[in-house]
A and B are shown apart, each in its own frame.
Chain A
Amino acid sequence: MASPEVAGDVVAVQRGDRDAFAALMARYQNRLYRYLLRWVRDHAAAEDLFQQTWMRILASLHRYDAGRNFDAWLFAIARNLVMDHLRSRKPDSIEEPVAEGLSLSDSIATDVPGALEQLLRSERAAQVQRALESQPPVFREILSLRFEEEMKLEEIAEVLSVPLGTVKSRLARALEHLRTVMLRHKLEEPAR
């Protein structure tokens, strides 16, 4: 369910209030743009999708059910447009990857407890940013929704239109994969 402020803005936009639309946009524009950018990793494409998403929202707002979570509704619209965009370019880029390289995660965890703590003490943001960008798209998406958007697993399931169990397993795998990539970078660093 939408917060009272958002619900008020939505009703006002449905009546044609331009200021309410500007307020709604100001509230979501950065989050939406970040989500799109996590998917496509290209500012031009993200900007194009950003514009398309808002126009789609405007066109669909009269069908929005006030009992539904507005965040999930908005991100689901954005996701559908991203899917169309990616399918038209590289269909296989949407698929969830099979497990690979996770054995490294186990071995390092056994040998060096808290290895990432040391690694991330400096340059944390840049390191994580790079590692996140190297993730498969579906992992980038779920990590962004959970940690950047602070969505609950149920909300993520609504955005992705998948069962809760799928969200849990995908999130766990995404975190494992991200950790593995970061530790791999750490191992490779001294060799450079």
Chain B
Amino acid sequence: MSEHERIRELLPLAASGDISPGELRAVHEHLSRCESCAGMYQDYGVLGSALRSLPTPQPREAVVARVLELAESRLGRSSANPREAFILAPLVVAGWLMAVATWPFARAATVWIFTGWRVPHGGLGTALAFYSILGFILACVSALAVGRRARIVGRRI
């Protein structure tokens, strides 16, 4: 490949400023004695500046508004996670209290298990503790399930 051909290949990138300083020096030296390459180099420079000054098309305001609306809805759901904790924690406590409150009924309904089947148990205190812990665990599981569902719904948008 002759020097002329090699330089000609470099011209587009030389005009866009995308060659090394050494290559650029070689290009400029060649341009000083080659009129056709100089014209071509000038063309690429003109093209580059014309491309840079093309008007920028803009999306319609309605489209931008729609995207913002969707994004806000999505971000609203994900950012609601910390607040969910404040809402779900009292619900867990309330669920646990309800479980404790229903203890006399549960005890009355299940007393035959302890008496009829003679299952060993540590008295009223142990049974109440077991019952309230079970109620607390169930309340926690329910709260986690509700929170997870809310996040999945948020992700689908």
| Chain A positions near chain B (C-beta within 8 angstroms) | 13, 15-18, 21-22, 25, 29-31, 33-34, 37, 46-47, 50-51, 54-55, 58-59, 105-106, 109-110, 112-117, 120, 124-125, 127-129, 132, 143-144, 146-148, 150, 153, 168, 171-172, 175-176, 178-179, 182
Contacts and interface: CB of A to CB of B under 8 A. Distances in A.
A125 B55 contact: yes
A172 B67 CA distance: 36
B47 interface: yes
Interface stretch (B36-44, B86-94, B117-125): B36-44
Given A58-B74, A132-B54, A30 B59 contact: yes
B60 interface: yes
Interface in B1-52: 8-9, 12-13, 15-16, 18, 35-40, 42-44, 46-48, 50-52
Interface in B113-131: none
Chief secondary structure at chain B's binding surface:
helix
A33 B85 CA distance: 39
Contact of B39 (A55, A113, A147, A171): A113
A32 to B, nearest CB: 8
Interface of B: 8-9, 12-13, 15-16, 18, 35-40, 42-44, 46-48, 50-60, 63-64, 66-68, 70-72, 74-76, 78-79, 155, 157
B115 to A, nearest CB: 55
Contacts of B70: 51, 54-55
Nearest to A54: B67
Contact of A179 (B8, B35, B43, B66): B43
A180 to B, nearest CB: 10
Contacts of A34: 56-57
10 closest A-B pairs (Cβ-Cβ)?
A: A113-B39, A16-B79, A147-B51, A175-B12, A116-B43, A109-B40, A172-B12, A33-B59, A128-B50, A110-B36
B51 A128 contact: yes
Contacts of A31: 56
Contacts of A47: 59-60, 63
B48 A147 contact: yes
A73 to B, nearest CB: 17
Given A37-B57, A120-B50, A50 B67 contact: yes
